[in-house]
């Protein structure tokens, strides 16, 4: 018995020693990530210092390369001043994509100016930078599992690969769940009320005198949303100006979407309170719903059915789409999507509903019922609250 006890004790100590060795093997990866981050910050700061030194010329030179401002606002100081005023953009997916890309390209500049303590660094730039940990955190979480794969035995590596896949799917499920929850509010509102809560516009912000950015008229651009909040709704951008223009043209069109049966005398006055209520209610629901959808996305990734999700097979079929025998390849893609994505998701939802224990069953069913029912309830409440009733038209009819 004593020998067996000693052997068991030695085995436990050996396992702890192996675990400690694995932790030591991960440290170089963490150190490398930290050094890369420090290097990135140093580069950003150094570039910013060179930009500041050469700020007298809108065409900056860094390390012998010509750095030109790609936006038309900054190509020449002699451009028309119309480019230096606030402007509402076309409401299409391409414009929104362009705005998001340009905004992302500005993040290093925001970071440098924040580290430097620039007095013109504002709350908008802080909010944009605050999103970075949100997205980098998911990548970091998956990377910590991937980092140790090469140091495991073949059997352990197989199990770790399954864990990595589930963690990666969980991170993706979280992000997709959050975006889906918001879309289930945004899309019905755009369809039934004509209000796009993500409608972009360019906001020109005045800077202090002597700012090193040296921009035309001492103004820099920011991209906002017309209906981003009830306090900062840009009503002025919704009016039409010019000779013979109907000032309330936009509001007249929206009034029909809000349920007005006749043309209103002051459609802007009649709609502003309705739109404010819509923004408040939509923002509240968009803040709450992601909790249920993110829970569902992460939970779905942890089910055994998620192991059958195979994106590599789907991507191979997509890559082969435009080769010979195209009709058959489209059929193959359809089969692959069904087998490698749709069926595992449906089975995963069934597993969440069934649950492995009483607690998991309650949590799973609550998330599923909430994900289906709450968006419907939210849209019914918003549409009912913002509808222009006959009694409200009253004497406001032309």
The overall average pLDDT reported for the chain is 77
Which range of residues forms the domain containing residue 269? 69-396
Q: Residue 24 falls within a domain, yes or no?
A: no
Counted domains in the chain = 1
pLDDT of residue 178: 92
Query: What's the gap between Cα 112 and its chain centre?
Result: 23
Query: What's the gap between Cα 285 and its chain centre?
Result: 17
Is the predicted pLDDT of residue 24 greater than 70, yes or no? no
**Among the listed residues 240, 205, 210, the one whose alpha carbon sits nearest the alpha carbon of residue 220:** 205
Please tell me which residue, 374 or 60, carries the higher pLDDT value.
374
- Partners of 264 in the β-ladder: 397
CA distances 111 to 53, 69, 104, Å, are 18, 18, 12
Q: Residue 52 falls within a domain, yes or no?
A: no
- The token pair at 292 is 């249920």
Q: Residue 101 falls within a domain, yes or no?
A: yes
Of 1-15, 50-64, 96-110, 319-333, where does mean pLDDT reach its minimum?
Answer: 50-64
Query: What's the gap between Cα 42 and its chain centre?
Result: 27
Q: Residue 255 falls within a domain, yes or no?
A: yes
Please tell me which residue, 207 or 43, carries the higher pLDDT value.
207
Q: Residue 34 falls within a domain, yes or no?
A: no
Residue 155: pLDDT band (50, 70, 90) is: low
Q: Residue 344 falls within a domain, yes or no?
A: yes
Q: Name the helix (H) or strand (E) containing 388.
A: none
Q: Residue 54 falls within a domain, yes or no?
A: no
What is the pTM (predicted TM-score) of this model? Answer: 0.72
Q: What is the pLDDT of residues 212-225, one digit of tens each?
A: 777 777 788 889 99
Cβ neighbours for 216, distance < 8 A, ≥ 6 positions apart: 73, 74, 77, 79, 84
pLDDT of residue 53: 38
Taking residues 267-278, report their average pLDDT: 92
Alpha-carbon distance of 206 to 203, in angstroms, equals 10
Q: Residue 44 falls within a domain, yes or no?
A: no
**Among the listed residues 267, 241, 240, the one whose alpha carbon sits nearest the alpha carbon of residue 253:** 267
Taking residues 238-267, report their average pLDDT: 86
């Amino acid at each position: 018995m004593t020998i067996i006890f000693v052997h068991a004790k030695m085995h436990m100590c050996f396992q702890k020693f192996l675990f400690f060795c694995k932790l030591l093997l991960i440290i170089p990866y963490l150190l490398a990530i930290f050094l890369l981050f420090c290097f990135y910050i140093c580069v950003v700061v150094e570039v910013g210092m060179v930009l500041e030194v050469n700020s007298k010329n809108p065409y900056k030179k860094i390390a012998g390369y010509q750095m030109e401002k790609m936006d038309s606002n900054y190509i020449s100081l002699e451009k028309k001043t119309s480019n230096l005023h606030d402007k509402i953009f076309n409401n299409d997916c391409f414009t929104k994509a362009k705005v998001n890309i340009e905004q992302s390209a500005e993040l290093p500049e925001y970071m440098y100016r924040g580290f430097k303590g620039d007095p013109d660094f504002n709350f908008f730039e802080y909010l944009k930078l605050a999103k970075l940990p949100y997205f980098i955190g998911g990548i970091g979480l998956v990377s910590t599992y991937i980092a140790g794969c090469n140091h495991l035995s073949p059997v352990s590596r197989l199990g770790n690969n399954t864990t990595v896949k589930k963690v990666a799917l969980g991170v993706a499920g979280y992000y997709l769940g959050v975006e889906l929850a918001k879309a289930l509010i945004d899309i019905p509102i755009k369809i039934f009320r004509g209000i796009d809560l993500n409608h972009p516009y360019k906001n020109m912000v005045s800077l202090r005198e002597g700012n090193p950015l040296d921009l035309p008229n001492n103004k820099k651009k920011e991209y906002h949303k017309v209906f981003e909040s009830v306090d900062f709704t840009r009503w002025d951008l919704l009016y039409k100006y010019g000779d013979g223009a109907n000032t309330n043209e936009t509001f007249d069109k929206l009034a029909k979407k809000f349920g007005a049966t006749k043309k209103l005398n002051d459609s802007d006055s009649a709609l502003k309170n309705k739109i404010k209520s819509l923004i408040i209610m939509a923002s509240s629901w968009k803040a709450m719903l992601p909790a249920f959808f993110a829970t569902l996305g992460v939970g779905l990734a942890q089910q055994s059915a998620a192991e059958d999700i195979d994106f590599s097979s789907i991507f191979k079929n997509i890559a082969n789409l435009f080769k010979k025998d195209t009709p058959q390849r489209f059929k193959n893609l359809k089969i692959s999507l069904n087998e490698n994505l749709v069926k595992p998701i449906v089975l995963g939802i069934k597993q969440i509903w069934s649950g492995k224990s009483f607690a998991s069953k309650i949590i799973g069913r609550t998330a599923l019922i909430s994900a289906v029912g709450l968006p419907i309830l939210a849209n019914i409440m918003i549409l009912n609250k913002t509808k222009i009733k006959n009694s409200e038209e009253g004497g406001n009819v032309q």
